[in-house]
Amino acid sequence: MKPLVIILGASADIGRNICKLYAADGFYVIGTYRTFTEELAELENCERITLFQCDVTLDKDVARFTTFLKKNRFVWTSLFSSVGTSEPIGRFFDIPWEEWKHSIDINCLGQLHMLHALYDLRIKDGVANIALLAGGGTNNPFRCYSAYCVSKLMLIKMCELLDDENPDLNVFIVGPGFVRTKTHLETLRAFDRAGDNYGRVKKFWESGSQGTPIEQIYRCVRWLESKGRHIAGGRNFSVVHDMWGDEALARELLKDSNMYKMRRFRNEWRDRQEDK
């Protein structure tokens, strides 16, 4: 059996660099991509990285990838998904339905289909890790990005559901914050269809800032892998704002199973009114 890390969306800027960082740490990596790009060529020269063409929204591609892993007797220890798009951008009723639905397939359903297909190929003598990426709109409306936002919320809840059902998985989701990736070009192309977010992204892009370093995202994921499911499982972490890496946070998470979960806020308000 060949233990490995699977990176879904290796053609994305975050996914490509996460591939390199895992390989540099001695892991064998298989990265999937939908469309081959010049940037992926650098990964082909790494002996610890294998690339596989696969569109997670296509059933036949998911089946091909699963067959490839079985044939080569691969068993995965960790899986990181960088698949995603912010398109279509615009108000819900201005977007063609099929485009909106396809975004849900890319940002959520295709990734879940892949997890479902790969589950039986995980390590059996330990806990396998699954890391997903969260996005904007978790705590507020994300105007003009409804398909993207709803997909991310679904992934956040699925982390909790999978954690509850599967003691053999450490599944969590991380919000990377603003990262300088090609995804922002989708917003810049959308112009006024992106609403207020256009100005925010334009300012960030023109500043030349790299935003959250991808190495920081990687270190957060590796820390959550090392802490295991009792601390990381089923939770949503912010790479930028949370104190990951701090043992004080780890102790708090052990004490409170509701921390960093999708919950209503101030549920006790009605009780306080009745007590007055």
**Rounded distance, CA 262 to CA 139, Å?**
9
**β partners of residue 130:** 79, 171
Coil vs helix vs strand at 54: coil
Rounded to two decimals, the pTM is 0.94
* Mean pLDDT of the region 97-123: 98
Say which residue the tokens 């977010």 belong to: 197
**Rounded distance, CA 4 to CA 2, Å?**
6
71-89 residue pLDDT tens: 999 999 999 999 999 999 9
Confidence of residue 205 (pLDDT cuts 50, 70, 90): very high
Backbone angles phi, psi at 74, to 5 degrees: -85, 140
* Mean pLDDT of the region 36-52: 92
Per the structure block, which two tokens stand in for 226? 């090392």
116-172 residue pLDDT tens: 999 999 999 999 999 999 998 888 889 999 999 999 999 999 999 999 999 999 999
Confidence of residue 263 (pLDDT cuts 50, 70, 90): confident
**Rounded distance, CA 161 to CA 256, Å?**
17
Q: For all residues of the chain together, what is the average pLDDT?
A: 94
Say which residue the tokens 């269809």 belong to: 193
Element at 19 (helix H, strand E): helix 13-24
pLDDT at 1 over 60: no
DSSP conformation letters of 82-122: ------S-S-GGGS-HHHHHHHHIIIIIHHHHHHHHHGGGB
Q: How many C-beta atoms lie closer than 10 Å to residue 79's C-beta?
A: 23
* Mean pLDDT of the region 180-201: 96
pLDDT at 212 over 60: yes
Coil vs helix vs strand at 223: helix
* Mean pLDDT of the region 183-198: 96
pLDDT at 269 over 70: no
Q: What homologous superfamily is domain 2-258 in, according to CATH?
A: NAD(P)-binding Rossmann-like Domain (3.40.50.720)
pLDDT at 5 over 90: yes
pLDDT at 139: 81
157, 163 contact by CB (below 8 A): no
pLDDT at 275 over 90: no
Q: What percent of the chain has pLDDT over 70?
A: 94
Any idea where the domains of the chain sit in the sequence?
A: 2-258
pLDDT at 137: 82
